[in-house]
Amino acid sequence: MRATLHSAWLAFKRLTQLGFPRRFPILQFPNLPLIVALLAAEAGTFIDGAGHRYAIALAYLATAIWAYEELVEGVNWFRRLLGLVVAIVLIVRVAGALHA
C-alpha cells in the first residue's frame, strides 16, 4: 500500500513538472495547492452560511501557498512574477474585505 501511494505521488509530481512551452514553461499542470484552491472555490459556490466562508478561506489559503511556491521556486521569471502578482492581489483583496 505504501509503495503504491509513493509511486502515485511520484507520478503526480512528474505530471506537475510538465509545462508548455518546454523551454520556457508558462502553462503547467496544476500542483496540489492550486487544485485545492480551485476545488474549494468551486465548492464555495454551492454552499451557504459558515460553510461558504470556510470554503472561500481555504481557497484563499491554498492560493496564497501556491503564489508563495511560485514566487520562491518558480521555473522561470514569468512564473515567479505570476506568483508575486497573485500574492499582491490576495493581500489587496483580504485587506479590502477586512476594511469593509
What span, in angstroms and rounded, lies between the C-alpha atoms of 89 and 69?
A: 16
| C-beta separation of 48 from 56 below 8 A | no
The more confidently predicted of residues 89 and 3 is 89
pTM equals: 0.87
- Give me the pLDDT at residue 81, please: 97
β-partners of residue 20 are: 27
Model confidence at 2, pLDDT cuts 50, 70, 90, reads confident
DSSP assignment of 33-97: HHHHHHHHHHHHTT--THHHHHHHHHHHHHHHHHHHHHHHH-SSHHHHHHHHHHHHHHHHHHHHH
- Give me the pLDDT at residue 18, please: 82
- Give me the pLDDT at residue 56, please: 94
pLDDT in tens, 8-66: 888 888 888 888 888 899 888 899 999 999 999 999 999 999 999 999 999 999 999 99
Is a pLDDT exceeding 80 seen at residue 100? no
Q: How far is CA 57 from CA 5, 63, 88, 97, in A?
A: 29, 10, 17, 12
